[in-house]
Amino acid sequence: MENEVYTIPLNSIIDEFQLEVIYAPENVAEIQVGRSDLNRPGLKLSGFGKLFEKDRIQIIGRVEYEYLCSLPEKARHDSFESLVSENPVCIIFTTELPVSDEQINICKKGRVPLLRTKTLTSEFMAALIASLNVSLAPRITRHGVLVEVYGEGILMLGDSGVGKSETAIELVKRGHRLIADDAVEIKRVSATTLVGSAPEIIRHYVELRGIGIVDVRRLFGMGAVKLTEKIDLVIELEQWVQGKMYDRFGLESEYTEILGINIPAITIPVRPGRNLAIIIEIAAMNSRQKKMGYNTAEEFNKRLMGQIHGDK
């Protein structure tokens, strides 16, 4: 659900970033991280803790470390103890900074995980925030097919039986890649970006009516599939309706709103004789061209208007 709050086990972060576990309480497997923003607790260590947020992972970099080292022994103890007393989700020392026995004992007393990484502070924080943004992102599941065509993530939507899966297989045969069939898990990983993937149970599988379930990875090889892809274009496939006016020039920009983000969208009518795979390839290339600053419809319209005015 869009408003559901997601968490990730602290152990997953430890494994992903190969963090050194200096101290971990017995219940470390139960600790969940629910915030993607991190905190460098310089203000808290200096005595100002009014707006301290313990749900964030606390990062001790060289600045915080040098500040602690500059304090007298008792003040250093009290400063670090005040941080641990807030019961933060965990404390991570970066840049392989030394951790004193005193700090370990304080964390043991407060049952706060104490971890360390060799990575530089800014580099580690950027990587961890990026990872958490994906893991904790708002998400929904849409019925559709997600493929990568010429580097563009194409989300095909439409009623069951309209030909989404068959089109995906044809695109795979033409050298493109499948991300998800039937159900697409969509995550909002930033204010402008949606990323789609397949639920693990149906990953790399496609259902073809009359044949059954097909394992795309085994049939076409590892190069035919991909785990995730940014969604660049939404294509709505619908049965051709006689008499309905379809866009023939592409001057009007249409968008589909997903998780609060507007994604460029087009509608493609489906009827016997239309090669959907080729049409979608052209749509993907046209989408890339627009992002590079060239809009074919606008250029054609300018040429047409110039011709009209030139004839007058």
* Residue 37 appears among annotated catalytic residues: no
Q: What's the CA gap between 304 and 58, in Å, rounded?
A: 61
In eight-state DSSP terms, residue 57 is P
Provide the token pair at 161: 């039986």
CA atoms lying within 13 Å on the CB side of residue 245: 2
Spot the catalytic one: 44, 139, 164, 187: 164
- Rg of the chain's alpha carbons, rounded to an integer? 26
- How many Cβ atoms from other residues are within 10 Å of residue 164's Cβ? 24
In eight-state DSSP terms, residue 293 is T
Spot the catalytic one: 248, 271, 309, 312: 248
Provide the token pair at 39: 């905190």
* Residue 35 appears among annotated catalytic residues: no
Spot the catalytic one: 54, 182, 217, 288: 182
Q: Which of 36, 237, 236 is nearest to 133 (CA)?
A: 36
Q: What's the CA gap between 84 and 99, in Å, rounded?
A: 14
Spot the catalytic one: 143, 173, 274, 302: 143
Enumerate the β-bridge partners of residue 296: none
Please name the residues in contact with 246: beta carbons below 8 A apart, sequence gap of 6 or more: 267, 269
In eight-state DSSP terms, residue 225 is B
* Residue 204 appears among annotated catalytic residues: no
DSSP-derived pairing of the beta strands 32-33 and 228-230: unpaired
Cα distances from 139 to residues 32, 91, 93, 161, 303, in angstroms, run 18, 28, 32, 26, 43
Coil, strand or helix at 304: helix
Handedness of CA 121, 125, 131, 136 (dihedral sign): positive
* Residue 187 appears among annotated catalytic residues: no
Residues recognised as catalytic: 143, 164, 182, 248
